Copies of this chain bind each other. A is one copy, B any other.
Amino acid sequence: MTELFASLDTPCVLVDLDRVEVNLKRAQAHADKEGYALRPHTKTHKLPRFARRAEELGATGITVQKLGEAEIMADSGLKDIFLPYNIVGPLKLARLKALNTRVSLSVTADSPDTVAGYAATFTPDAPLTVLIECDTGAGRCGVQGPAQVLALARQIIGAPGLRFGGLMTYPPLHNFSKSCAWLRDAVDLLGDAGIAVQRVSSGNSPDMWDANEAPVTERRPGTYIYFDRFQVQEKVASFDDCALTVLATVVSRPTSTRIVIDAGSKTLSSDLMGMSGHGLVVGTDYLVKALSEEHGVIEMPEASDWPHVGDRIRILPNHACVVSNLFDEIVLVSGDKVLERVVVASRGRVD
């Protein structure tokens, strides 16, 4: 018997291109049907080729989460980039200014300090588009209510080098409607003040199949290109939709129930996403129970000869995005066939 993917050393990341295509197309069809602009978050894959492919299928542009990722995507020819982040400090503002001359760029702000930084950096000849980040319940960044939205919109509109770009939120999980209600209040208040809101951008993959609601005009799911164990748990996808798996080798069978593989937290990350276990052994219901950096430990409920030392197994990780960030390259496959190795261009762009 030929070993699974014998030409590949392990651990490595397999991405099934057929599943990627299906996932991209299904999301675009949903966006088309529901009438919102799809702006996929590229942090999941960090690959310019998949960013371009989504645009070919109808995406309005892309999303990145760090300035360094935006720079890589711009270098690779992507032209419409949303960076929903507060860009702060002279070093980053200088980089942002340079980038803004190369691509159609938009960013966010959630404080007068952040807007002041943008206002002091940009000029009317190459204005920066700024959306206001709204905390609609997720408890991360974002202004806390419509009155703050209005104040910040006035500050942006009053700055000659800035363009008011609309509103952005990272919605609380499974509360898309609640988030939309928050945003409607803000849009209404802005409307009363004579400020039009043309773009309202929301996440995310767990809520991607929800019908669209006003005032959202754009959505930024990311994980849907690969899906993962968390998305399956959230009933966004089935196991068969998951495109990214980790190929690992069994390096030890210390007991009749314990399997140790060569994929640890350096491969799978230690993201639990509120679940138990660090990943699922594909084709079984065995979980990776414990991780150290270079080992994954699986405990089977009953003694078993299978698998042997040297056997290869595939792991569905809890969280696909963080796995992409741990590998210099991924391997594109179609079923059991290896297609191509691809460098993860914006891996490790932490700033």
**Is A99 positioned at the interface, with any CB of B under 8 Å from its CB?**
no
**Is A76 positioned at the interface, with any CB of B under 8 Å from its CB?**
no
Q: How far is the CA of A269 from the CA of B111 in the complex (A)?
A: 27
Q: How close is A45's CB to chain B, nearest CB, in angstroms?
A: 13
Whether A295 pairs with B141 at a CB distance below 8 angstroms is yes
**Is A77 positioned at the interface, with any CB of B under 8 Å from its CB?**
no
**Is A191 positioned at the interface, with any CB of B under 8 Å from its CB?**
no
Our pick among B12, B310, B321 for the contact of A88 (Cβ within 8 Å) is B310
Count of chain A residues with Cβ under 8 Å from any Cβ of B? Answer: 62
**Is A322 positioned at the interface, with any CB of B under 8 Å from its CB?**
yes
Whether B10 pairs with A252 at a CB distance below 8 angstroms is no
Instruction: Please name 9 further chain A to chain B contacts, defined as beta carbons within 8 Å, in addition to the given A43-B294, A85-B294, A111-B309, sorted by A numbering.
Output: A12-B351, A65-B294, A88-B310, A89-B249, A110-B252, A135-B254, A141-B252, A270-B322, A326-B350
What 10 A-B pairs come out closest when comparing CB atoms?
A: A113-B309, A141-B252, A86-B251, A65-B294, A9-B91, A270-B270, A270-B271, A9-B351, A88-B310, A111-B309
* A-B contact list, 26 entries, CB within 8 Å: A9-B91, A12-B350, A43-B293, A43-B294, A65-B294, A85-B251, A86-B309, A88-B309, A88-B310, A110-B252, A114-B251, A139-B297, A140-B252, A140-B290, A141-B252, A144-B254, A265-B271, A266-B325, A270-B271, A270-B322, A293-B325, A325-B326, A326-B348, A326-B350, A327-B350, A328-B348
